[in-house]
Structure 1
Amino acid sequence: MTTALELDERYGRGRRKRTSWIVGGAIALVVIVIASWMTVSQSINAVDADDLSYELVDEHTVTVRFQVIAPQGKDLACAIEALDEEFGVVGWKIVEIPAGDSHMQQLTATVPTVAEATTGLVNSCWVA
């Protein structure tokens, strides 16, 4: 006569099925924790830059005024660009910003150009 334990083993009911669910759940939990930590760590170092104004000084110079919102106490760097009327890059400069006491800083950068520019802007900023 066949026992209940033998039938469970024959048809896959029992410990093996439960163990695979536990292992799968543990792996899913680890993946969720890692993804959450990566999201939090990226947002901690997020830098936001806004263009405030630009001034065309002469044929070879543009002054860009911008504002940076970043983590307090961290050095930053920003890529500033000067563009012509066809949106081609005619000048750029990397501006290094020392750590400040405030989350928000307003800055001015002068960008040399190789041709006459029609605008100046902040391309991107990051924690240095």
Structure 2
Amino acid sequence: MTTQQALLDERYGRRTSRRATRAWWIIVGVVGLAATVALGWSTVATSMASVDADATGYAIVDDRTVTITFQVVAPTDGTVACALEAQDEEHGVVGWRVVEHEVEGGTAVAFTETVPTVAEATTGLLHSCWVA
């Protein structure tokens, strides 16, 4: 039993070539493989450039100064930039500073930095670090 579509295809000479179908699937496979490789490389490149940083403490020096102690581990030798912030009791940012340090890859290094504030702070935080 043939379908109406098959009858029309036979009458007007329309048919799909096996070559065209095979070429279509090869192109789809190559594009899918390329997308998978690109996503994998993007993931690896991002993780290789990530900086591990932890705040280890803070001290309120006076009404206008906070010191923040933090530890940084970078994946490669070079410069690492870190954003430090001081907050008041309502979690409003009252001080902000970006500092840069030279580090050796894979080695944990501790730093203590001073953040000037515009009002009395109650805490000091390490906001983020990145490879500069």
Q: TM-score, normalised by structure 2?
A: 0.86
Identity %: 50
Deviation, 1:30, is 0.7
RMSD: 1.8
Deviation, 1:15, is 0.7
- 66-75 vs 53-62, which moves further: 66-75
Deviation, 1:13, is 4.7
Deviation, 1:69, is 1.7
C-alpha deviations, 1:79-125, integer Å up to 9, x for none? Answer: 00000001000001111011336521111111000000000010010
- 106-115 vs 92-101, which moves further: 92-101
Structure 1 counterpart of 2:54? 50
Structure 1 counterpart of 2:40? 36
* Runs of 4+ with deviation above 4 angstroms: none
The size of the alignment, in residue pairs, is 122
Alpha-carbon distance in structure 2 between the residues aligned to 1:72 and 1:61: 32
1:12–1:65 Cα change, 3 Å: same
**Aligned: 1:70 with 2:74:** yes
1:101–1:28 Cα change, 3 Å: closer
Report if the CA contact (8 A) 1:66-1:108 is conserved: yes
Structure 2 counterpart of 1:4? none
Q: TM-score, normalised by structure 1?
A: 0.88
Alpha-carbon distance in structure 1 between the residues aligned to 2:77 and 2:112: 20
Structure 2 segments unaligned to the other structure (5+ residues):
1-9
Structure 1 segments unaligned to the other structure (5+ residues):
1-6
